[in-house]
Structure 1
């Protein structure tokens, strides 16, 4: 910033005076923080936001901004502080180079205008308390309140008699990253049959999800199960099975072999929200952590509570904004 003190540090000998107060040499801290003109703007901000703003340094100003809890008001406060610094520099240049004196009220209107644009462009949400709403209104900013939550019951349903149901899932710690897949098979009485988890090395999530579904089909085929219900929490997987999307190129050959197996079976594939697919999700995560391929003939202890909830027909709940 080419304030007089910084120009002097570069070896230029100049006479310096602060154009905003005419009573002090122009130094960066004085101009932006301690000058009478700047102090009045920081006092105005303290009043608007009802806070004890420490304007002894730029670091302390932004530290106080970050302490605010309301996300939208916090972003407005940071934008206001930045626009205040920009306005001080603008007013200084207007006075020094154009001879135009900008008053405090004119400077405040400029800060409000620029802060309003930033605040209305923010995606952060506001809390519905009166104090925060008054702050936003003072800048002509629309409050973005969180919408009411929609609560959806998600219940695992058993297959019809004679069918086997498998829930599968995949996970990756990164894109790509260490990945794993898992699945759990149950019958029409909600009784556990078997489960698996696999470590799939470095892959992305869609690879892991698709590989888990393919492996589940192979298990069902090898065991002679002719009626298979596949349930997943990925809509992209449904598109692949229905032919609307292409599978990962590295699994093209596996997909061709899987389709040959499916032609010998009655099968159905459906979607379930993730909240109802907890068993498969934990099995996929186990594959990542264990770095092994595991098959369980008895229920793994780490999915026992979720399996029990499914067997008793107890719902999980999905929360989302309306």
Structure 2
């Protein structure tokens, strides 16, 4: 019988108040299946991509979603909203935010905010790469708020 990983975070991301397409993106990110340069190289595709935001680092999942200045500005904004200091050393660290002592509705809203933030980073990066359109981090915050308001309306 095959051993399965204990994915304690899986129940957090699959929620009827969060669009499945957005939860699926996070599922792919957590399983290292998002087509970043790093993941494409592992699969045998040699495509020289640099981070679309800083153009200084190789496009790895951890860099574009947590280390790049663009991502840091978005995470700093979310940290300010939650009145927390955020520091991530792994993908799982971001979901530990949802395990804090929040009310059930607040937990869903925070989970949705994390998922929407990550989806927005991916969307903005793709806009820069494929449409030569750069979206400022302040505009990205507006996109995150708009996406999250749908979750709030359902609650």
Scaled by the length of structure 1, the TM-score of the pair is 0.37
User: d(CA) in 2 for partners of 1:111 and 1:57?
Assistant: 22
Residue 51 of structure 1, aligned match among 61, 84, 88: 84
Aligned residues of 1:38 and 1:88 also touching (Cα < 8 A): yes
Residues 1:94 and 2:127 are matched in the alignment: yes
Distance 1:53 1:72 in 2: 21
SS in 2 for 1:60: helix
Greater Rg over alpha carbons, structure: 1
Question: What's the counterpart of residue 266 of structure 1?
Answer: none
Note if 1:107 corresponds to 2:107.
Answer: no
**Residue in structure 2 matched with residue 254 of structure 1 by the alignment:** none
C-alpha separation between the residues in 1 aligned to 2:129 and 2:148? 25
Which residues of structure 2 form unaligned runs of 5+? 1-33
Rounded Cα–Cα distance in structure 1 between residues aligned with 2:72 and 2:154? 28
Say what the alpha-carbon RMSD is for the aligned residues: 1.1
Residue number in structure 2 paired with 1:29 = 62
The answer to which structure, 1 or 2, has the higher relative contact order (CA under 8 A, 6+ apart) is: 2
The TM-score normalised by the length of structure 2 is: 0.75
Query: Which consecutive segments of 4 or more residues in structure 1 shift more than 3 A?
Result: none
Partner SS state of residue 12, structure 1: coil
- The structure where helix makes up a greater share of residues is 2
> Which structure has greater strand proportion?
1
User: Unaligned regions of 5+ residues in structure 1, if any?
Assistant: 123-322
Preserved contact between residue 54 and residue 64 of structure 1 (Cα < 8 Å): no
Q: Aligned equivalents of 1:30 and 1:87: distance in 2?
A: 15
Structure 2 Cα separation of the partners of residues 71 and 54 of structure 1: 23
Query: Superposed, which structure 2 residues align to 1:246-257 within 5 Å?
Result: none
